[in-house]
Structure 1
Amino acid sequence: MKLSSLRIITNEIKNLVPFYEKITGLPAKWYTNDFAEITTDGSNLAIASTRTLSLFGNDFAEAASNKSVIIEFRVADVDDQYAKIKDLLNDIIQEPTTMPWGNRSLLFRDPEGNLVNFFTPVSAEAAERFN
């Protein structure tokens, strides 16, 4: 089994997709006005409007209500990435900090309050976990 993607449901797809394009430096592929994906080396970040919920026959998800998931991106150099995107961020939870498990992490919220972590493995043990 392979995790293929993570999907964010949003009321503001026209704002959220460009935010993720800017912070990742990756273009989104729009499939419809209500669904786009940003493809990374390992998986996809899908972003869909709340209008897509009706396709599943129910409004089972609520936009801008995540309180338990952190969207994580491994980056080559978290300090360098932070310097590039800090002016785009309105809610920085933690500036780049080396964590006890060997990752250097930047934690912030996207415009809808979802937690996002950019990290770089900096200890030998952490780097080995990702190779």
Structure 2
Amino acid sequence: MRVVDIIADLRVDDVDAARQFYTDYLGLTTEEFNLGWVARFTSPETGAHLQVVSRDASAPENPVISVKVDDVDEAYAAAQQAGYEIVHPLTTEPWGVRRFFLRAPDGNVLNIVQHHA
């Protein structure tokens, strides 16, 4: 497994209400996607990005980061072999990703994800 990207997942009460601050003040004006409960905002100049999350649609907890990997099945097997707590099982989600959540030894929840082509 190879990590491709890491994206901060910021907890917000309302995704749409958070949009103005992150787009106007930080200049993350490209909205890559918005599912109502999660949206990603990106700087068109630098590619810097973050996600805002109100409540994950299918998992029991919100992650603090999303880690994009090139092989999520391999990542899942490695997490299980290492004995890490799986918070949300490996799932192909209807919005086009395959992912699972695990709890790091420090208690943080990570979304390990691979986008389908």
- Could you state the TM-score of these two structures normalised by the residue count of structure 1? 0.40
Could you say which structure has the higher strand fraction? 2
The structure having more radius of gyration, on CA atoms, is: 1
- Could you state the TM-score of these two structures normalised by the residue count of structure 2? 0.44
Could you say which structure has the higher helix fraction? 1
Say which structure, 1 or 2, has more relative contact order (CA 8 Å, 6+ apart): 2
